[in-house]
Chains A and B, each alone.
Chain A
Amino acid sequence: MAFRAAVITFPGSNCDRDMATALEAVSGQPAIRVWHGDADLPSGLDLIALPGGFSYGDYLRSGAMAATSPIMRAVVSAAERGVPVLGVCNGFQVLTEARLLPGALLRNAGQRFVCRTVALTVENTASPFTAAYAAGETIRIPVAHHDGNFYADGETLDRLEGEGRVAFRYAEDCNGSARDIAGVISANGRVLGMMPHPERAIEPAAITSLGGADGRRLFESILSSFATA
């Protein structure tokens, strides 16, 4: 089974290696590393991953500068063609700034940077990103962010919920996100943005200090949904 994933690195990305490691661990195939200044993506990708970090020092707004980088024009164009995209943490912020996902990520309501493992409820298991989870399951995934407070207007929130586009919700108080939303899916179902870091939770659960293994099934879902036979 072939699986070609690209991980984009922006100046200030710091979870790109973890993302590549997680993708490689689950797929057994090397992830292609792509620099923000590249104008083109490699061909035949099964997934584009935007990693966490602090791209461009969070100047202006988290993710705003990265959304204007040359590679993002290629990412937006690929996403419009249906190439699957996963954005984690800063990657989620970049996806909202690039308008590939609705809403925005505001400063945490408690004003503090939040860095701990939190409980999430899996809301939608019909998506290609979450198929390996059980509906309503509670999982534990690390978060590490200052701007993770998901905001969208009421009408947008109703639409996201009505269309089953909320992938994950916080099952505990985390950052003040509207309706506790931790991850959302695009209208075509092929773009997922989430603040928690599944790539930090792929090791066997015995090593709980490393975040557990609840993130692994997200990558397994991706692999089984998007790998080419």
Chain B
Amino acid sequence: MQVRVLVRLKPGVLDPQGRAVHHALEGLGFDGVADVRVGRLIELDVADGTDRATLTAMCEKLLANTVIESFSIEAGAAG
């Protein structure tokens, strides 16, 4: 089973990387970009039937640092 975990910095947590990307987009002449935040997409191939609680535990224990990041789990996504 394919699972996608999207990890993002929580709102309000400074994202220097996003700011640099934003600045670079402006440098390339793209106007009208209000903000950029960079997250992380983690693709997992797990045993069929792996339950939501297990996936959530993976996120909380390792894939995301919940002090600064939030995560969302998209299970059963096409590979």
Contacts and interface: CB of A to CB of B under 8 A. Distances in A.
Interface of A: 60-61, 64, 68, 96-97, 102-104, 106-111, 149, 151-152, 176
A148 to B, nearest CB: 12
Contacts of A64: 62, 65
A60 B67 CA distance: 15
A104 B16 contact: no
B46 interface: no
Contacts of B16: 106-111, 149, 176
B68 interface: yes
Given A109-B16, A111-B20, A68 B67 contact: no
Interface of B: 13-14, 16-17, 19-20, 61-63, 65, 67-68
B68 A104 contact: yes
Given A106-B68, A151-B13, A151-B68, 12 more contacts: A64-B62, A68-B61, A97-B65, A102-B67, A104-B68, A106-B16, A107-B16, A109-B14, A149-B14, A151-B67, A176-B14, A176-B16
B20 A106 contact: no
Contacts of B14: 106, 109, 149, 151, 176
Nearest to A156: B67
A149 B16 CA distance: 10
Contacts of A104: 65, 67-68
A210 to B, nearest CB: 30
A152 B13 CA distance: 9
Give the interface SS of chain B, mostly helix, strand, loop or mixed.
Answer: helix
Contacts of B20: 111
Contacts of B65: 61, 64, 97, 104
Contacts of B61: 68
A201 B16 CA distance: 30
B43 to A, nearest CB: 14
Nearest to B23: A111
Contacts of B13: 106, 151
Nearest to B38: A107
Nearest to B61: A68
A152 B62 contact: no
Given A60-B62, A64-B62, A68-B62, A152 B67 contact: yes
Contacts of A61: 65
A111 B17 contact: yes
A16 B14 CA distance: 31
A152 B65 CA distance: 12
Given A64-B62, A68-B62, A103 B67 contact: yes
Nearest to A61: B65
